[in-house]
Amino acid sequence: MAGASVYSFYIFDRHTECIYTKRWTGPQSIPQKSTATNALSNGAVPVSVKRAMKAEDDAKLIFGTIFSLRRMARQLGGKDDQFLSYRTGEYKLHYFETPTELKLVMLTDTRVGNMRTVLYQIWATLYVEYVVKSPLAPTEHPRGVGVANELFEGGLEKFIDSIFTPAQ
């Protein structure tokens, strides 16, 4: 998948909480300029705090979206129907749900094809191996405790890099 890019990746647990977020920031010169001017006009909230708040809100909006679309797919297609992905003119959202209602969401470029197997592999080879089997991680992950450990982060980065950069 040469030239395609991945924007962000989220994991939601069965209590609807976002337990892991990762964003890949590409060349973003234009929006940074605009946030700088915004910070001047209402100086009360620093840009970094604002950006963190925006990220948190985005995660909530994404959860709401996939929750509704998942229900819509079941309503139209029957009980065993699964919502897979949606595409807008700008980005594509891929969705995978495990039997334990762990939800994995990835936002990518529109040119990317089906990412279901990739999300499955992230769950099976990274999440299960490094988070579930970790003796230090709790069974539940309130506020993402124990998910973002070194092995999982490193593994995820390497895995995504191997998919989205052209093989030399």
Partner 1 sequence: MAWWVVFALLIINKAGGLIYNRTFAPGLQKLDSNDYLILAGTFHGIHAISRSINPAPLAERLPGNRKPPTTGIESLESSHFRLTCFQAPTGVKFLLVTSPEQPNTDVVVRRCYELYGDFVMKNPFYSMEMPIRVEKFDRALGGYLVRP
Among 38, 48, 82, 100, binds partner 1 (CB under 8 A): 82
- Residue 73 engages partner 1 in binding (rule: CB under 8 A): yes
What are the CA-CA distances from residue 117 to residues 17, 62, 106, 113, 158 (Å)?
Answer: 23, 21, 12, 11, 16
- Residue 20 engages partner 1 in binding (rule: CB under 8 A): no
User: If you write DSSP's letter for every residue of 106-152 in order, what string do you get?
Assistant: EEE-TT----HHHHHHIIIIIIIIIIIS-TTS-SS-GGGTTTS-HHH
Mark the segment that binds partner 1 (CB under 8 A) among 38-46, 71-79, 142-150, 152-160: 71-79
Q: How many residues bind partner 1 (CB under 8 A)?
A: 37
- Residue 69 engages partner 1 in binding (rule: CB under 8 A): yes
Mark the segment that binds partner 1 (CB under 8 A) among 41-49, 65-73, 124-132, 135-143: 65-73
Among 75, 100, 125, 165, binds partner 1 (CB under 8 A): 75
- Residue 112 CB-half CA count within 13 A: 27
